[in-house]
Structure 1
């Protein structure tokens, strides 16, 4: 069991070193890309170097990390940790600053939009439409809905029928009476 844990720790240490080197190389490559990208077979050399770092028989990760990166990290470890903490604090300050600004602007725009909608609603309610008489005439031609007991309301009886055909119900069920046939309608095409 102890040997198994030791192997897992060695593998974990290997992969941590590998990914630290990959990150370090990526950062350096971004800075120096203009100067080294024109070299012939640059991509192939980079691929070969990553295979050298990864391949278990060559143990390239341990050699490169122990030779180049470990001495620098051991010498400047406290400074690197302090810089990381400063960057973390700055990032948090920047995030809170921009979050506060965005929330203020969002609230201001929301209130501005709400005031605009309220103004448009008030403007719409204050003035009647230009063709309000036509609108009232059209709305007066719409018959009211039938009453629940099947009788027509007094307003509906006094209303003139429209110029279109209308339907008169004959033998409609009233007060619980059943009709003789399911649908008995009389169509009246008189134009009164």
Structure 2
């Protein structure tokens, strides 16, 4: 467990923090082989982005691979290490030919995604808020029903009326907080 944690820490340092700092230094330099270094670091970050996306999509498979963290660390260092300059090799030999072949198709898909991203975001936000409101109301009713069930056992009708008033006040507060009223509320699950 400790070895895994140390490997992750090294990946963050050598795979992200150090290259980010080197990229920063490249951007801030005013002379020399600025464009060559900038191209190198752009290639590095493109490869890292693709690696991260593949990792996320194949997380289950990646978790089964022995010593994956160590291999990833070695690969990331290989990409930026000055003597190997692996970013140039991987980019020119593998990545560039594949992307160039499918570039128009990729571009069209990203344009479509960009055009519909607003609709998608609104859909997810609306869905999340409706489900969140329903969950909030269900939890609220569960807590109140448990509390009123305990009071029924005690037989206190005065507390029951007070609790009902509190519940109505709390629902009014929730409606005000969430900006809805009883007519706008989504249907609750039974």
**Which structure: greater helix fraction?**
2
TM-score by length of 2: 0.48
Give the greater-gyration-radius structure (CA). 1
Higher RCO (CA-CA < 8 Å; seq separation 6+): 2
